[in-house]
Amino acid sequence: MLAVRRLTKHYGALVAVHDVSFEARPGEVLGLLGPNGSGKSTTVKILTGLLRQTTGTVQLDGADAFADLEGYKRIIGYVPEEPHLYSYLTGPEYLRLVGRLRELPERALDDKIDRFLQLLGIYDDRHQTLSSYSKGMRQKILIAAAVLHNPRIVVLDEPFSGLDVSAARVLKGFVRAIADEGKIVVFSSHVLEVVEQVCSRVVILKDGRIVGHDSVANLRATLRLPSLDAVFASLVAEENVEERTNGLVAAMKA
Amino acid sequence: MLPPLRSLREFASRVPRSQFETLCRAFFAQFFSSETVTSDEQLQKAMAGVLAFLITPALFSPIQMAASFEIAAIRFPEMLESMTRQMATVYITYSMVGVGVIAAVMWDSLSFDRRDAMVLGPLPLRVATVIGAKITALALFLLIVAFAVNVMTAVPFSMVAGTYKTAVGVARHFVAHMVATMSASVFMFCLLVTLRALVGGLSGRHVALASLLRFLLFSALLCFIIFLPLALQVEPGGRRRQASVQMMMIPPWSPTNWFLGLHEWIRGTPGAAWDAGARRAIAFTLACVASAILTTIAGYRRQLQIALAPSATDAVRSAARLPRAIARLATGRSRLARAVSDFILATIARNGTQQATIAVNAAIGLTMIVASLLRARGDLTQLMRPRTAVLWIPLILLYWIAIGLRAAFYVPSELPAAWTFRCNAPVQTPAYWSATRASAIGFLLPLGLLADALIAPLIGVRAAAWHALIVIPVVVMLAETIALTVRFVPFTRPYEPGHAKLKTRWPLYLFGLCAFAIWPARAAMYAAGRPADIVALAEWLWAIAVVLEIIGRFRARLWRMDPAEEYRGESAIAVLDIGIVLRNEAAT
């Protein structure tokens, strides 16, 4: 089990994450929800070991996950929010780089890359550099790179961004399937419908603090609201939506 | 009374900017920005340094010539015209080479690229406005640069060469100088803009072609600077012999001669050859301007086409196969080291920024070789035997390419993508050292052997083959030394301007030149013709390489991937992990 305990992160005077605690269990998909600037991405980066928290701990099976950062990184797969890739490499070259960095066996790696490329529908573009890939194709490469080593923990930050409907459906099923395999999946997204379909439990963040943490069904029942969208609006308290919408229209016309 | 600056700014901000003006400013700003350097201020300083490097010799050379002109005016007035023409030839060549180098530095901004087309394509802009703004920005840049480079020579040279003439003569000389040198600059700049637009429209190896051009232009500039004192020889006169000014022959087809014709035509020097040269200069300059405009127009359309429908020819084959194969031998069985060395070599093979760094340093090496060969004064027979000036050719080139390679390691390639390493690779492993050393061997070895093969026509195949026994351990020594001086995965850190510290570390670079090129070449010269001595020398060099290897293996444990957050830059901007750019509060 991956447990986050009283996590706080400061950027100078700015508090990006404040006293956040939650758990992600094997076999479930934990959703991280929140508006822009709520601290989702910072939390995700701390979970992946890319950022160091100011205070608090991240524990894996009861032990400090970062005590053996190398070992922790070995069992984690990560899809970042922005598809930053070495654009002068081809898709297979990039995946081979990641696979070798993770020291996967050479022959098995090549077979695995070919299978991923075929299943994700980008095999025909294998000789093109990533600079010529669409956003969706890059996203598929990122997803393949994240799971190439069969990780125990998968952290996905807006993983379906830019994907077409068909690919998104396949990958939603894939996320649920890997959770069913007993993996720990943390899924951060803005898209509430997707979170509702994919996640077993959600953590809702606002201004770096947790404002809601439960299963989608429980949240709906507790707040007596019909959908996650309504729960989110209620908890995040998007004040004066109508007023802001009208303001935007007025600004556009000005 | 002048209006206060603030009110002028307020007034300027109220004047509506047209699309054309906005675009023009944006294109002009592209010449002074870089995505690799984190601080624009540092980049502007570097550019000011390049300009100062180009302008200073030109400013001082007419002043240095002043005494010669004075003596000639008093004692040998018939020589003045000849001296003036020879100096004009030098300045015309300087103008072309100088502007060529600046254009090579700004290579990527000389034409449209795919991103311009992607950003500007959807906007409600007329194609004519976009192209017109780009051409205007290019013209403005050319005028500023060409004027800065040429007026520095025109003013003192007109004063020096015109002291024995009337004021009208001085003015006419100034106009002739400015027109000839500016036309030469325009000719060269437009030629390069045309090339850039043509190369940009090609798929595949355009990055390598651009780097080759940079290498040639930098070599041309540096060779010009060292060639000048040898090309122009002023012999002072004596009681029994007349003074003379001699210059190496410039072939009639050379563009320099056309612009010299223009220079003389404006000065009113009679002669059919000058008139013909002037006509050619005007015709070729206009043709180059027209081709630059046409290829810029075609370039924009081509980039739009590429942006909308990427060509199937964009497909790439495996990059740098031979270097990668060599590097794999050097990395052994470590998959991690192989991954990093493949990454390093693919990055060099496909990125213009890294190649440019290597090309500029290789140009220094080539210049040193040319300078040493010039001592032969065209007598090739002197070079047709093993001698230090010949044996050091591959070693000097290798040394400077190695310096460039090391510098290129500090230049990031797509910094935001460095998360790939931070997330997927170990923080600390000797494999990073092994990969860097192996990729340096893989990169340098084929080049070293190629350079060694190039001297085979001079010293013979057999002697060149024996010399290869020296070149190979020197390559390994260089690679080991590079790996000793780097402690991170190349291309994954923000660039810190001035890390080379040339001002303070030049003795170290000089020592390196001696250790890796001059001393081995001298020792090889001493052993030439005696295979046993050559083998013994190679054994010594291998022994040094082994010592460096042992030190490297010991220090390899220190190699680490930077933790994302801990980068401490001197500038106010620090680039953190996955492309997050934050203000460094301590610095601000």
Q: Cα(B61)–Cα(B153) distance, rounded to whole angstroms?
A: 8
Partner A contacted by B573 (CB < 8 A): no
Residue in A73, A85, A129 closest to B417 by CB: A85
Domain match, A97 and A200 both: no
Residue B260 contacts residue B177 (beta carbons within 8 Å): no
pLDDT confidence of residue B314: 53
Range of the domain at A198: 1-75+153-214
Identify the residue among B306, B333, B424 best suited for mutation to test binding to A, counting A beta carbons within 10 A and taking the highest.
B424
Last residue of a domain, one of A135, A150, A165: A150
Following DSSP, what letter does each residue of B432-477 receive, concatenated? HHHHHHHHHHHHHHHHHHHHHHHTHHHH-HHHHHHHHHHHHHHHHH
Work out the burial of residue B299: count CB atoms within 10 Å of its CB; fewer than 13 is exposed, 13-18 middle, 19 or more buried: buried
Nearest C-alpha neighbor of B79 from the set B268, B245, B234: B245
Tens-place pLDDT, residues B163-174: 666 778 788 888
Q: Cα(B412)–Cα(B160) distance, rounded to whole angstroms?
A: 48
State which of A36-50, A240-254, B113-127, B536-550 shows the largest mean pLDDT: B536-550
Domain match, A20 and A115 both: no
Alpha-carbon gap: B448 to the closest alpha carbon of chain A (Å)? 27
For residue A7, report the phi and psi dihedrals to the nearest 5 degrees: -75, 130
Whether residue A242 lies inside any domain: the answer is no
Whether residue A95 lies inside any domain: the answer is yes
Query: Cβ contact (<8 Å) for A101 and B577?
Result: no
For residue A206, report the phi and psi dihedrals to the nearest 5 degrees: -145, 130
Query: Which token pair is A127?
Result: 């000789």
Q: Cα(B84)–Cα(B81) distance, rounded to whole angstroms?
A: 5
Alpha-carbon gap: B420 to the closest alpha carbon of chain A (Å)? 7
Q: Where are the domains of chain B?
A: 17-238+254-308, 321-583
pLDDT confidence of residue B321: 86
Alpha-carbon gap: A14 to the closest alpha carbon of chain B (Å)? 11
Q: Cα(B196)–Cα(B208) distance, rounded to whole angstroms?
A: 12
What are the Cα distances from residue B10, in Å, to A36, B19, B86, B277, B439? 36, 20, 51, 51, 56
Whether residue A223 lies inside any domain: the answer is no
Sign of CA dihedral B109, B115, B119, B120: positive
Domain match, A194 and A174 both: yes
Query: Which token pair is B548?
Result: 């460096």
pLDDT confidence of residue B564: 52
Domain match, A177 and A110 both: no
Residue B140 contacts residue B109 (beta carbons within 8 Å): no
Query: Beta strand pairing status for A29-33 and A76-79?
Result: unpaired
Residue B416 contacts residue A50 (beta carbons within 8 Å): no
pLDDT confidence of residue B544: 95
pLDDT confidence of residue B562: 64
Q: Search chain A and give the residue with CA nearest B311.
A: A132
Domain match, A162 and A68 both: yes
Query: Cβ contact (<8 Å) for B426 and A73?
Result: yes
Alpha-carbon gap: B208 to the closest alpha carbon of chain A (Å)? 14
Q: How far from the centroid of its chain's Cα atoms is residue A49's Cα?
A: 14
**pTM for this one?**
0.77
Q: Cα(B176)–Cα(B91) distance, rounded to whole angstroms?
A: 12
Q: Cα(B62)–Cα(B86) distance, rounded to whole angstroms?
A: 12
What are the Cα distances from residue B135, in Å, to B13, B102, B156, B294? 25, 17, 32, 10
Size of the A and B interface in Cβ pairs below 8 Å: 103
Can you tell me whether residue B496 is helix, strand or coil?
A: coil
pLDDT confidence of residue B582: 34
pLDDT confidence of residue A174: 92
Q: Cβ contacts (< 8 Å) between A52 and chain B: which residues? A: 563, 565
Tens-place pLDDT, residues B339-364: 999 999 999 988 888 888 898 889 88
Residue A160 one-letter amino acid: F
Last residue of a domain, one of A117, A134, A150: A150
Query: Cβ contact (<8 Å) for B314 and A69?
Result: no
Query: Cβ contact (<8 Å) for A98 and B420?
Result: yes
pLDDT at A116 over 90: yes
Domain match, A71 and A4 both: yes
Query: Cβ contact (<8 Å) for B577 and A106?
Result: no
Domain match, A132 and A161 both: no
Whether residue A48 lies inside any domain: the answer is yes
Residue in B340, B350, B578 closest to A82 by CB: B578
Partner A contacted by B508 (CB < 8 A): no
Query: Cβ contact (<8 Å) for A102 and B351?
Result: no
Partner A contacted by B206 (CB < 8 A): no
pLDDT at A115 over 90: yes
The C-alpha R_g of chain B, in whole angstroms, comes to: 27
For residue A77, report the phi and psi dihedrals to the nearest 5 degrees: -120, 140
- Weakly modelled stretches of chain B, pLDDT under 50: 1-3, 5, 565-588
Q: At which residue do the structure tokens 């001669």 appear?
A: B257
Partner A contacted by B419 (CB < 8 A): yes
pLDDT confidence of residue A237: 66
Identify the residue among B348, B415, B578 best suited for mutation to test binding to A, counting A beta carbons within 10 A and taking the highest.
B578
Query: Which token pair is B224?
Result: 């010009």
Partner A contacted by B332 (CB < 8 A): no
Domain match, A130 and A19 both: no
DSSP category for residue B490: T
Alpha-carbon gap: A22 to the closest alpha carbon of chain B (Å)? 22
Q: Cα(A80)–Cα(A157) distance, rounded to whole angstroms?
A: 5
Across the range A168-197, mean pLDDT stands at 89
Q: Cα(B588)–Cα(B584) distance, rounded to whole angstroms?
A: 6
Partner A contacted by B420 (CB < 8 A): yes
CATH classification of the domain holding A23: 3.40.50.300
Domain match, A62 and A88 both: no
Query: Cβ contact (<8 Å) for A98 and B424?
Result: yes
Partner A contacted by B425 (CB < 8 A): yes
Q: Cα(A27)–Cα(A47) distance, rounded to whole angstroms?
A: 18
Tens-place pLDDT, residues A144-161: 999 999 999 999 998 888
Domain match, A100 and A206 both: no
Residue in A84, A100, A128 closest to B314 by CB: A128
pLDDT confidence of residue B6: 56
Count of structural domains within chain A: 2
Query: Cβ contact (<8 Å) for A88 and B335?
Result: no
Residue B411 one-letter amino acid: V
Domain match, A134 and A16 both: no
- Look up the ipTM and state it: 0.80
Query: Which token pair is B498?
Result: 């001035």
- With a CB cutoff of 8 Å and minimum separation 6, the contacts of B154 are B174, B177, B178, B181
Q: Cα(B548)–Cα(B407) distance, rounded to whole angstroms?
A: 20
Q: Cα(B377)–Cα(B384) distance, rounded to whole angstroms?
A: 14
